[in-house]
Amino acid sequence: MNSRTRKKWYTFLVKRDGEYCKGCGKLATECQLVVDHRDNDSKNNTESNLQLLCRSCNYRKNPRNEPLDLCVSNKNSISINQEKELQFRKFVYESLDESQVIEYDELINSGAEYFGISPETSKRYLKKMCSELGQLEKFKNSPGLFRTGNKPRWKVRYKEKVLEELNQQLAGSEEFCS
């Protein structure tokens, strides 16, 4: 259907049915409405075969390979972000379990690369983990007295109180096993 024919049918359908989606009831002010063929035959332009649907309902009725917009997807960006943050946290904790101290920038960049997120996102996650309520702390180490040209670098480690709690838990589990 060309644009002139589409406009003609759109105007007719608005007068006949009202300017809202026949699938979900959204108004034209809330979404973009399209002219839909009920029988999916684009050549059948009879009045009884045409209706107005929003893009989401039209997609659900006539799925294509790729979703047209995010509202069709089952996973929204918030749930994806929450999953990535949990995975990043696990990655950081496992890395710190292996080596007690890790460079701040290294965690940001390797986490971003590993999980396919931006360095800014991994930096935001790490900042939360190093916050007052987080289990980690960010600190600057000083280069050795005899080294020249080395700048102090930011590092990350568990906070002292967290280490004490972990050691107490380990000691308690050893007593339980004996």
Q: How would you class 162 by CB atoms within 10 Å of its CB: exposed for 0-12, middle for 13-18, buried for 19 or more?
A: middle
Report angle CA 107, 83, 73 to the nearest 5 degrees: 135
DSSP 31-94: S-EEEEETTS-TT---GGGEEEEEHHHHHHHS--SS-SSGGGSSS-HHHHHHHHHHHHHHHHHH
Give the pLDDT confidence of 60-97 residue by residue, as tens digits.
Answer: 888 776 544 544 445 567 777 888 899 999 999 999 98
Provide the whole-model pTM. 0.49
What's the token pair of residue 83? 């999953």
Q: Which CATH class is domain 77-142+149-177?
A: mainly alpha
| pLDDT surpasses 80 at 13 | yes
Give the pLDDT confidence of 18-28 residue by residue, as tens digits.
Answer: 999 998 888 88
Cβ atoms of 46 and 58 within 8 Å: the answer is no
Q: How confident is the model at residue 175 (pLDDT cuts 50, 70, 90)?
A: low
Question: Would you call 173 helix, strand, or coil by DSSP?
Answer: helix
| pLDDT surpasses 80 at 134 | yes
| 1 or 163, higher pLDDT | 1
The pLDDT of residue 166:
66
Query: Where in the chain are all domains bearing CATH 1.10.10?
Result: 77-142+149-177
